[in-house]
Amino acid sequence: MAVLVGKKAPAFKAAAVVNGGEIVKDFSLNQYLGKNHVLFFFYPKDFTFVCPSELHAFQEKLNEFEKRGVKVVAASTDTPESHWGWLQVSKDKGGIKGITYPLIADQTKTIASNYGVLFGDYLYNEMDELEADGPMIAFRGLFLIDKEGIVQHQLVNHLPLGRNVDEALRIVDALQHHEENGEVCPANWTKGKTAMKETFEGVADYLSKH
């Protein structure tokens, strides 16, 4: 599994459903370069159980991300038609109607592979037949990408383990605090709390007060 922190986020163009129902052909994260941070997350599969809880949880906090200038983008290995269909189903029936951030359709599975979150290996046997070990869907990967396109944070959960959206917001706040103030954020730091200067004196001063 790739560790992308500190590296350029892999570029791609793919079909996506945007604004809750419009299918576009060549969606790319490059449109945000120089303008926005991006919270890019993968979920395993449309029409499943844990996934809608995560998608709705990110939607519920979307205003908080947008206030911070962060674009939220999701992806799975489903088709754009599958995304679109799921968006027509109401929340009380297990659907994701009301989700407005982009849902990328990684049909070739190359995006998940390049981000190191594709669950399952594949090969061609001696008969030139494709064989896969695993379901070939995405783990619950999450990547915080800065305005220069550099991955600053990544988190990967196995399929049964849903993510904490408040923790994703906390990481955004920590990164933006560091970018704006040059300070580093200690354990359990949250917005509004004291951070520390990246010197021995700064650390000593912080620890003496906590």
Give 82-93 pLDDT, tens digit per residue. Answer: 999 999 999 999
In this prediction, residue 2 carries a pLDDT of 80
Residues 6+ apart with CB under 8 A from 163: 41, 54, 140, 142, 155, 157
Q: Output DSSP code: residue 26.
A: E
DSSP tally for the chain: helices H, then strands E: 6, 9
For residue range 105-114, list pLDDT tens digits in order: 999 999 999 9
pTM: 0.91
Give 8: exposed, middle or buried? Use CB within 10 Å, 0-12, 13-18, 19+.
Answer: exposed
At the top level of CATH, which class does the domain 14-163 belong to? alpha beta
Does residue 122 contact residue 129 with C-beta atoms inside 8 Å? no
Residues 6+ apart with CB under 8 A from 109: 77, 118, 136
* Catalytic center residues: 51
Residue 191 in this model has a pLDDT that exceeds 60: yes
In this prediction, residue 1 carries a pLDDT of 62
Residues of the chain with CATH 3.40.30.10: 14-163
